[in-house]
Amino acid sequence: MAETTLKCYVFQFLSNTLPSNPSDFCTMHPMPKLFIDTVGCQMNVLDSELVVGSLRRQGYELTTDPKSADVILFNTCSVREHAEEKIYSALGKLRGHKEAHPEKVIGVLGCMAQKDQEIVTKRAPYVDIVCGPGQLARVPELIDAAKKSRKKQYAFSLGRADAGKLEVTQSFESYDPNRDPTMRPTPFQAYVRIQLGCDKFCTYCIVPSVRGPEQGRHPDHILAEVKQLAGEGCKEINLLGQTVNSYKFDHGDGRKSRLSDLLYRIQDVAGIDRIKFVTSFPKDMSDDLIQAVRDLPKACKYLHVPAQHGDDVMLKKMKRLYTVSYYKEMVQRCREAMPNVAISSDFIVGFCGETEEQFATCGELIRFARFKNSFIFKYSPRRGTKADELYKDDVPEEVKKRRNNDLLAVQAEISAADHQSQINTEVEVLVESPSKAALKEQGQSAYTEHTQLTGRTMTDHIVVFEGHPRLIGQTIKVHIDQASPWTLFGTVQTDENVAVTGDLDILPAIARLPDRKIELSLVQLLAYR
Ligand code: 5AD
Ligand code: SF4
């Protein structure tokens, strides 16, 4: 999953006797505040939403400023070194602050915490809490214990080799408590975890170690969560899993549920208009799933299926379990079923031993598959992975950088052609928020005055257009006038553009938390791959 940055602002802690309106107490008790910064994929964004939700139920309140917070949390990522360094740098900035205010609680949560339990404590000895992604349910208790005891608090899941599979699996809890609607990127879009962990063990990847064994959540629990979200006004559900299309649940009575079964059930949930899922593993792109996406009107015709490389030797070294010709055949199967399906990919450039010829095959694959977009990463060796153990990281950094840029240029050419072909068409857009530019220029007023808005089509294309923010949360028709490689620009088709419907209830929901709204809108823009 792609790297994103999210700042959520956590809350003031109220004691056991909560008033009906917590703000009634604010003037009476100087309440401690909490700040949370999230780096990483959508799974981390969801984890942060859930951590903040559980703290909120205990009366916490968010702040945007870490230094004004009494509890400062970092939800971390360990997929690439860069993501880790960002966190250490943020922690470094807090060193003096913590020395001056020893009563403040600093916590490192998530994948880096699980991977580098001791290193975190060594590099930032003033951190009070270190908690892996499989133990997030314990965060409120850990904060309390840290405050009371002034001792370091640790909570980790078992390592993959520390015990039998069942025991290791059980140490990664499915952390999906009741949702808090105010903590979502927008009130009408929500992530729903359907799967934990990963069992693929691609040689470069740390995820199977830090997120544990693959486990599918019970479909009834997923459905209950989706219905709850629909009841709260949510229109778009994004199902999350590291290899989401490998999702399976064995009911123990001979019945098995697959992702396609889930899609059929969610199709029937009133109020939900769009269903997406990320991230798919190429080998598990089964025909039943392709048919479900084709046949279900609510299923977005968008598949994120990372190829990672265009060369068989590299794919084998990465242990991706498929060949380039398999991948191409999979793309063809998807396009035969859905000629207009948008497919996106991830690529790793500069993996161990990659030659110029091998690198060039990635561009060839982009041209063949005509990806809507690709996320391109420079290989970053991760301690504890097979690739780090077996192969030398021998492609120099400047070469990785150049290959990254070259591949982006190929993708930009393909994306530009795809976008050009959409000029003068009409697309259905779910309006998400003011555009990044509008938020930068207008600040809060972008939520109340005519502005530049952004949204996505059913194929996950980003569309920017002028309109009133009351359109946020509505699905409208937009005529595409212009295109850049990464964005479509259009005009709202007037029949729908000022329709006043019950959907407008969404705006007050966004406006309720004035400090949060801009940040969360940015999150939403960044969080989508
Ligand atoms: N170095 C660089 N990129 C990586 N990814 C995973 N592990 C690494 C690594 N060690 C990329 C893959 C994956 C995406 C989420 O991150 O492309 O699909
Ligand atoms: Fe990592 Fe491979 Fe699992 Fe994706 S499928 S999370 S790249 S091990």
Q: What is the DSSP string of 214-283?
A: -EEPPHHHHHHHHHHHHHTT--EEEEE-TTGGG-EEE-SSS-EEEHHHHHHHHHTSTT--EEEEE---GG
In the reported structure, the alpha carbon of residue 451 is separated from the centroid of ligand 2 by a whole-number distance in angstroms of 40
Establish whether residue 380 lines the binding site of ligand 1, counting it when its CB lies within 6 angstroms of any ligand atom.
yes
CA of 79 to the centre of ligand 1 (A): 6
pLDDT given at position 28: 53
For residue 61, with 0-12 CB atoms within 10 Å meaning exposed, 13-18 middle and 19 or more buried, which class applies?
buried
Q: Give the separation between CA 417 and CA 439, rounded to whole angstroms.
A: 29
Omega within 30 of 0 (cis) for the link into 385: no
Give the pLDDT confidence of 421-457 residue by residue, as tens digits.
Answer: 999 999 999 999 999 999 998 888 888 889 999 999 9
pLDDT of residue 291: 98
pLDDT of residue 54: 85
Give yes or no for residue 345 CB within 6 A of ligand 1: no
Distances (CA, A) of 395 to 101, 196, 524: 45, 33, 34
Which numbered atom of ligand 1 lies nearest the CA of 346? Answer: 17
pLDDT of residue 30: 58
Report the distance separating Cα 455 and Cα 461, nearest Å: 8
Q: Supply 522's token pair.
A: 């940015």
CA–CA separation, 39 vs 2, rounded Å? 10
Dist. CA 201 → ligand 2 center (Å): 6
> Per residue in 197-220, is it b (16+ CB within 10 Å) or e — as a string?
bbebebbbbbbbbbbbbbbbbebe
- Copy the structure tokens of residue 456: 């996505």
Sign of CA dihedral 124, 126, 127, 129: positive
- What does the pLDDT read at residue 495? 59
Report, as ranges of residue numbers, the positions in the chain whose pLDDT lies below 50.
1-27, 496-529
Q: Is the CB of 447 under 6 A from ligand 1?
A: no
Q: Could you tell me if the CB of 322 is within 6 A of ligand 1?
A: no
What pLDDT digit, counting tens, does each position of 39-91 carry?
999 999 999 988 988 888 888 888 989 999 989 999 999 999 999 999 999 99
- What lies within 8 Å, CB to CB, of 318 at 6+ separation is 202, 203, 204, 308, 309, 348, 351, 387
DSSP labels for 364-427? Answer: HHHHHHT-S-EEEEE----TTSHHHHHS---S-HHHHHHHHHHHHHHHHHHHHHHHHTTTT-EE
Q: What is the DSSP letter of 299?
A: B
The answer to whether the beta carbons of residues 128 and 89 sit under 8 Å apart is: no
CA–centroid distance, 88 to ligand 2, in Å, is 24
Residue 514: both structure tokens together: 């004035």
- Looking from the CA of residue 204, the nearest atom of ligand 1 is 10
pLDDT at residue number 124: 95
- Give the pLDDT confidence score for residue 254 in this predicted structure: 93
- Tell which atom from ligand 2 comes closest to the C-alpha of 243: 5
Structure tokens at 73: 């949390």
Q: Which residues of 355-394 are buried (b: 16+ CB within 10 A; e: fewer)?
A: eeebbebbbebbebbebbbbbbbbbbbbeebbbbeebebe
Q: Is there a contact between 213 and 204 (Cβ–Cβ < 8 Å)?
A: no
User: Which two three-digit tokens encode residue 243?
Assistant: 């290899």
Looking at the CA of residue 308, tell me the nearest atom of ligand 2: 7
Nearest protein CA to atom 2 of ligand 2, as residue: 202
CA 215 – ligand 2 centroid, Å: 14
Give distance in angstroms: CA of 396 to centre of ligand 1: 17
Burial of 434 (0-12, 13-18, 19+ CB in 10 A): buried
CA distance 107 to 139: 9
